Amino acid sequence: MPRSIWKGAISFGLVTIPVKLFSATEEKDISFRQVHPEDGGRIKYKRVCEKCGKEIPFAEIAKGYELPDGRMVILEKEDFDNLPLSTTKAVEVVQFVAEDEVDPTYFDKTYFLEAEGPGAKPYVLLRDALIKSGRAAVVKVALRSRESLALVRPKDGVLLMHTMLWPDELRDGSFAAPPENVTVSDAEVTMAQSFIDALAGDFHPEEFTDAYREALEAVVQSKADGIPLVEATEEAPKEAEVVDLVAALRASVEAAKKRREEAEKAKAM
């Protein structure tokens, strides 16, 4: 069982729910070391003070905030522990909203909330009330030296908490919009919808794998074993510009239907 990263309580009106917080995700990327290629030795870095030139042990390093006038304010652990903030040990419910009202762009990280001790009954109360109302709770919580908005919602019998970015942390993406004078015909939209319909289905994330990570693991293993890796055949590059969108989409629909039929046959075997 993973270790909890935070303990506190959800304030649900006059009801208090003691909870523990657990990370709901983990990175699966391959981790590399920085090494000297001649002998494989690891590269080490020293933490050196730019003023006195001394190497500073990690335990003696403090956090400093540089003011606009150049002064450095040193903050100790006690300063963070004693912040004048009500959300340091409490998840404060501020609003209830429909889940689809929150743009997924706001989501940062996902956590499991586990009831602690006498919190089981009020935990179930909040979970079931959210399910029946079809809503999620917008909360404020302080985690990892910052306060965040978060969304608490029920899933598979558990309450999940998604921390969110603040509005001023989202960039304006209007620069990426195509020029307004670019238009498409009804026939092109209809054919695009046909392609969407051909690939439509229920989302089953377990059916997808990280092909890049698998290929990288294969390269690492082949080098470790001293066995040459069979090179993958490269597909011929496609034309960057499509003149006839309807013809291209029609061909895409046929290809999608063929892939789906082959996939269904493979499942039936």
| E strand or H helix at 9 | strand 6-12
* Range 27-40 average pLDDT: 86
Sign (positive or negative) of CA dihedral 259, 261, 264, 269: negative
Distance (Å, whole) CA 113 – CA 120: 11
- In the structure encoding, which two tokens stand for residue 118, read together? 């006498």
Is there a contact between 33 and 129 (Cβ–Cβ < 8 Å)? no
Across the chain, mean pLDDT equals 85
Which of the listed CATH numbers 1.10.10.10, 3.30.1490.70, 2.30.30.100, 2.40.290.10 matches domain 6-25+83-167?
Answer: 2.40.290.10
Count of beta carbons in the 10 Å neighbourhood of residue 52: 7
Three-state DSSP class for residue 6:
strand
Break the chain into its structural domains and give their ranges: 6-25+83-167, 178-230+243-268
- Sequence length of the chain is 269
The confidence band for 240, taking pLDDT boundaries of 50, 70 and 90, is: very low
Tokens of 111: 């956590």
CA atoms of 151 and 140, how far apart (whole Å): 9
The 10s digit of each residue's pLDDT in 187-213 is 888 888 888 888 888 888 888 888 878
CB 228 within 8 A of CB 222: yes
Both tokens of 216, joined, read 């990288």
Per-residue pLDDT, 88 = 58
pLDDT value, residue 244:
73
User: What is residue 119's three-state secondary structure?
Assistant: helix
In a 13 Å sphere around the CA of 150, the CA atoms on its Cβ side amount to 27
Q: What pLDDT digit, counting tens, does each position of 92-150 carry?
A: 899 999 989 999 999 999 999 999 988 999 999 999 999 999 999 999 988 866 788 99
Predicted confidence (pLDDT) at residue 76 exceeds the cutoff of 90: no
Provide the b/e sequence for 31-43 (b: ≥16 CB within 10 Å): eeeeeeeeeeeee
